[in-house]
Chains A and B, each alone.
Chain A
Amino acid sequence: MSSARPSRLFRNKSAKIAAIPMIVTALFVFVGGTVWTIVYSFTKSGLLPRLKWVGLDQYERLWSTRKWLVSIENLAIYGFCTLVLVFVIGFILAALIDQKIRFENTIRTVILYPYALSFVVTGLVWQWILNPEFGVQKIVRSWGWESFQFDPLYTADIAIYGVLIAGLWQGSGLVMVLMLAGLRGIDQDVWKAARIDGIPAWKTYLFIVIPMMRPVFITTLVLVVTGIVKIYDLIVAQTGGGPGIATEVPAKYVYDSMFRANNLGQGFAASTMMLLTVALIVIPWAILEFGGSRNRD
């Protein structure tokens, strides 16, 4: 008979079975893995994880290692510049493309294709373009400007900016697409009203359109920031962290500690620091974005 109510656990049984991979992943990999790493960051794990507690030793050592400090500094520079530039470039590109131009599709396709490429490919191309013997520097010099100096990848002070160029080339297309979607999502009557009121376009963008695009900006921000923290492949491919340790980044520090230096504890501590950085950005955002939703309706 159908009218027997099945027990709570077995209602929607198929749905629950189908969700098992999600539940296992959420609990064991995401929560379990994270907790595991944090716990082991307080141990003296070397080649293999060992539960030998050393308190904050790994963190003290981390923060007194020059390579880590350089990594953090690089991440800060790279992150700050990327953040500012990727938004400025992305928005300007989107605004230009939004001018009802011809060839919109072609232009958009060209600006976005780098995003389809692997960071390894991007890093290697720009390594080649910025090669001082053959690349941009040589060409400008061959035009007669003999003293021209543009050699970021082999100049420790500015090497990270060489990576930045590649990162922007690859990532700005994505921001452009998101911004364009945001612009297109805005009620077009705003533009008509502004035109009737005689407000110049740049003012309309700055004071009306951009504030209206707040949700898009925030999502893009979170996306870009988490992408920045994860940066790894680009560095490995383009500079290998060099020259010297000039372009080391935290993600590479983690990998090197864990799989090259057989110093798991350092890797765990460093990755916990990365987690902390992301948490400091994502949690306030999540609270702002979803925290109020319980009070809605």
Chain B
Amino acid sequence: MTKPPPILLDGPQGPKPRRVLSRRNIFLYGTLLVITLYYAMPLYVMIVTSLKGMPEIRMGNIFSPPMEVTFEPWVKAWSQACTGLTCKGLSTGFWNSVKITIPSVILSIIIASLNGYALANWKFKGANVFFTILIFGAFIPYQVMLYPIVIMLREMGLYGSLGGLVLVHTIFGMPILTLLFRNYFSSLPEELFKAARVDGAGFWGIYFRIMVPMSLPIFTVAIILQVTGIWNDFLFGVVYTGPETYPMTVSLNNIVNSTQGVKEYNINMAATIITGLVPLTIYFVSGRLFVRGIAAGAVKG
């Protein structure tokens, strides 16, 4: 038996028609377009300026695309730009930054993940006192600890060396990373940890065999956070290294803001963009993980 089809009455029927060009959409997407262009503009300006010759810069405006693309500013920025003292370009600073960033990232993550693991799973008496101090430490303006660390490094014979800066980055990365790892390890089911203990695994066994393999995402987040943070650091670089060991940000500032000679804006912008290239690449490649890193580090208490 089939029922007779119901008779449709007049009036609205089926899906509600949607207008793509509603007032709301025009306003919404218009606003977003303007905002997006505004945020993108400086990057665009950096790139086009770095590809122009100086005569063109003096003639035209900073927004116009280069009439004649030249990569010379990039080459000069990399190997010849002057800081007032020397004219060796950014390359030394770049390699210094590499030599600083890689060991700092590795060391700080190893230490912080172990701290976080000890805090989350092996709560021993007094651990939380030190952790609280550590977290409050994250809020202390670095300026307060600048000089005591100068003395400390001098005593250790590390002042002015790359090793000293690595140590400083490890220290100052510790609060946020420890928090990140502690929160992550705490969020893992506690029963896993218990099961592993029943299975006879100890502190290191559980860390290496259970925790680390389960925590690759958070290690990635930590690496992203640290590489960008350390690469972008300026203050510690300026304080704890010397001209030979300056990281890239310091070299960049010295090149662009050197008061000697004629200002070569194209070289300056090329140098600026080269310095920004490493964190930008990481950012664009890692995308969501980067966002997750800053959100996790910031929001979770």
Question: Contact flags (1/0) for B175-206 with A, using CB distance below 8 Å?
Answer: 00010000000000000000000000011100
Q: Which of B141, B228, B231 has the most CB of A within 10 A?
A: B141
Question: Contact flags (1/0) for A9-52 with B, using CB distance below 8 Å?
Answer: 00110111011011101111111111011001000000001000
User: Given that A14-B202, A220-B298 are known contacts, is A30 also in contact with B142, CB under 8 Å in the complex?
Assistant: no
Within 8 A of A (CB), among B47-66: 49, 57-58, 61-63
Asked whether any CB of chain B lies closer than 8 Å to the CB of A233, the reply is yes
Asked whether any CB of chain A lies closer than 8 Å to the CB of B269, the reply is yes
> Is B61 touching A134 in the complex (CB atoms < 8 A)?
yes
Closest to B288 in A: A105
> Is B115 touching A22 in the complex (CB atoms < 8 A)?
yes
Closest to B117 in A: A18
A112: chain B residues at CB < 8 Å are 283, 290-291
User: Given that A124-B268, A128-B265, A278-B139 are known contacts, is A31 also in contact with B133, CB under 8 Å in the complex?
Assistant: yes
Q: How far is the CA of A95 from the CA of B233 in the complex (A)?
A: 32
Asked whether any CB of chain B lies closer than 8 Å to the CB of A209, the reply is no
Asked whether any CB of chain B lies closer than 8 Å to the CB of A274, the reply is yes
> Is B294 touching A33 in the complex (CB atoms < 8 A)?
no
Asked whether any CB of chain B lies closer than 8 Å to the CB of A264, the reply is yes
User: Given that A174-B294, A223-B298 are known contacts, is A23 also in contact with B130, CB under 8 Å in the complex?
Assistant: yes
Asked whether any CB of chain A lies closer than 8 Å to the CB of B114, the reply is yes
> B84: shortest Cβ distance to chain A, in Å?
13
> Is A254 touching B36 in the complex (CB atoms < 8 A)?
no
Asked whether any CB of chain B lies closer than 8 Å to the CB of A267, the reply is yes
> Is B272 touching A121 in the complex (CB atoms < 8 A)?
yes
Within 8 A of A (CB), among B18-53: 28-29, 31-32, 35-36, 39-43, 45-46, 49
> Is A37 touching B62 in the complex (CB atoms < 8 A)?
no
B102: chain A residues at CB < 8 Å are none
Asked whether any CB of chain B lies closer than 8 Å to the CB of A110, the reply is yes
User: Given that A22-B131, A110-B39 are known contacts, is A30 also in contact with B136, CB under 8 Å in the complex?
Assistant: yes
Q: Please choose the segment from B9-17, B157-165, B212-220, B251-259 that sits at the chain A interface, where 4 or more of its residues have CB less than 8 A away.
A: B251-259
> Is A134 touching B62 in the complex (CB atoms < 8 A)?
yes
> B223: shortest Cβ distance to chain A, in Å?
14
> A278: shortest Cβ distance to chain B, in Å?
6
Asked whether any CB of chain B lies closer than 8 Å to the CB of A268, the reply is yes
Asked whether any CB of chain B lies closer than 8 Å to the CB of A99, the reply is yes
User: Given that A34-B145, A258-B147 are known contacts, is A278 also in contact with B140, CB under 8 Å in the complex?
Assistant: yes
Within 8 A of B (CB), among A29-81: 29-34, 36-37, 40, 49
> Is A111 touching B35 in the complex (CB atoms < 8 A)?
yes
> Is B283 touching A116 in the complex (CB atoms < 8 A)?
yes
Q: Which of A113, A134, A250, A251 has the most CB of B within 10 A?
A: A113
B101: chain A residues at CB < 8 Å are none
User: Given that A14-B204, A96-B31 are known contacts, is A240 also in contact with B257, CB under 8 Å in the complex?
Assistant: yes
User: Given that A16-B124, A22-B174, A49-B151 are known contacts, is A117 also in contact with B276, CB under 8 Å in the complex?
Assistant: yes
User: Given that A29-B149, A101-B29 are known contacts, is A236 also in contact with B269, CB under 8 Å in the complex?
Assistant: no
Asked whether any CB of chain A lies closer than 8 Å to the CB of B98, the reply is no
User: Given that A230-B141, A236-B234 are known contacts, is A142 also in contact with B294, CB under 8 Å in the complex?
Assistant: no
Q: How far is the CA of A153 from the CA of B202 in the complex (A)?
A: 60
B75: chain A residues at CB < 8 Å are none
Asked whether any CB of chain B lies closer than 8 Å to the CB of A82, the reply is no
Asked whether any CB of chain A lies closer than 8 Å to the CB of B6, the reply is no
A129: chain B residues at CB < 8 Å are 41-42, 45, 62
Asked whether any CB of chain A lies closer than 8 Å to the CB of B210, the reply is no
> B151: shortest Cβ distance to chain A, in Å?
7
> Is B61 touching A178 in the complex (CB atoms < 8 A)?
no
Closest to B238 in A: A255
Asked whether any CB of chain A lies closer than 8 Å to the CB of B289, the reply is no
Residue contacts A-B, CB under 8 angstroms, 18 given: A19-B118, A19-B130, A23-B130, A29-B171, A33-B149, A37-B144, A101-B29, A106-B36, A118-B233, A118-B234, A128-B268, A230-B141, A233-B235, A236-B257, A251-B235, A282-B139, A286-B136, A290-B301
B residues engaging A (CB < 8 A)?
28-29, 31-32, 35-36, 39-43, 45-46, 49, 57-58, 61-63, 111, 114-115, 117-119, 122, 124, 127, 130-131, 133-134, 136-137, 139-149, 151-152, 170-171, 174, 178, 202-204, 228, 231-235, 238-239, 249, 252-253, 256-257, 265, 268-269, 272-273, 275-276, 279-280, 282-284, 287, 290-291, 294-295, 298-299, 301
Closest 10 CB pairs of A and B: A14-B203, A30-B137, A118-B232, A15-B122, A33-B148, A116-B283, A33-B145, A26-B133, A233-B234, A271-B143
